[in-house]
Amino acid sequence: MHRTVTELADGRELIYYDSAPGRDREAKDERPLDRVESLPELRRDPATGDWVTIAAHRQTRTYHPPADDCPLCPSRAGRPTEIPAADYEVAVFENRFPSLSGAAGRCEVVCFTPEHGAGFADLGPERARLVLDAWTDRTAELSARPGVRQVYVFENRGSEIGVTQPHPHGQIYAFSTVTPRTAKHLAAAAGHRAATGRNLFEDLLAEARAATARVVLAGEHWTAFVPYAARWPYEVHLYPHRRVPDLTALDEAERAEFPGLYLELVRRFDRLFGLADPTPYISAWHQAPVTGGEELALHLELFTVRRTADKLKYLAGTESGMDAFMNDVAPEAAAQRLREVR
């Protein structure tokens, strides 16, 4: 992996990741951009203890731009974008309309292909590996920043998810707090350790691998399975067999196997409903906090809001109001369907 660090016209950082050195990354951002005043405010809900970010400036962010005015495509004559180069492999830059900035954290955009109509499933293994290397590099750098408590790498895909930029991309959030879901993981892991003397996530993986009815794909170093109490109709968790806290701790064998296994998984999601349009999904890396997360295990959670070819899983009153999920598809049936997809 070769990285080139530069700046956009308003001072935001842009990093090109290339499979080899020698690519021309000298193009300058000539847009007359003013610095965006982003002053997100963190407020703690006294009733739950959860932190909520107030980011009112995001109301003016770019919303569903036409394809010929996409800000994530490479720049071309008369059409400057967030990426000044005429082509790229993987590019990461600070979000112009961040939910988190300054003391509250940082938000980055990860563009993993210049092809506007492509998706992660269309990448080859080499490009997917480069994306993994970029995720790892950003996790290492952001985790070392003062005040950062947790780094969250994710991809939202599909208008059904709420994506406002159709160009294939992911995001990275560096939080100054531990997220509520991670806090639940920490509490559950501590309780499991106290009750059994064992690690919760190692036991979850071992249980899933033994209960083969919920396994979707398995390699030498990774296993993808539907969790026992899946919240979403089609939800798959992907774990390395060796417990590590975050992406930086993966070894070369684990890194080498990941692209092929993950690409097969997202391609099965795309074929799941037999539709011409790609399946909307959220793909979320769960990483341990920078400190205090020794019991947690790196893993990826992939799920779709689609439950059938013509029905979406909306968060109804129980889910949105009480965080009590009701799943219409048995986890074992979901795993079988995903195994059968060709």
Q: Which of the following is catalytic: 57, 167, 169, 192?
A: 169
Residue at token pair 């269309």: 122
**Cross-strand pairs, 17:** 3, 90
Give φ, ψ of 268 to 5 degrees.
-65, -35
| HSE (side-chain half, CA atoms, 13 Å) at 98 | 27
DSSP notation for 86-103: S--SEEEEE-SS-SS-GG
Six-digit token string for 145: 């920043």
Amino acid identity, position 263: L
**Cross-strand pairs, 222:** 240
Are 193 and 200 within 8 A, CB to CB?
A: yes
Q: How many CB atoms within 10 Å of residue 116?
A: 14
Q: Is 169 a catalytic residue?
A: yes
Catalytically active residues, by annotation: 169
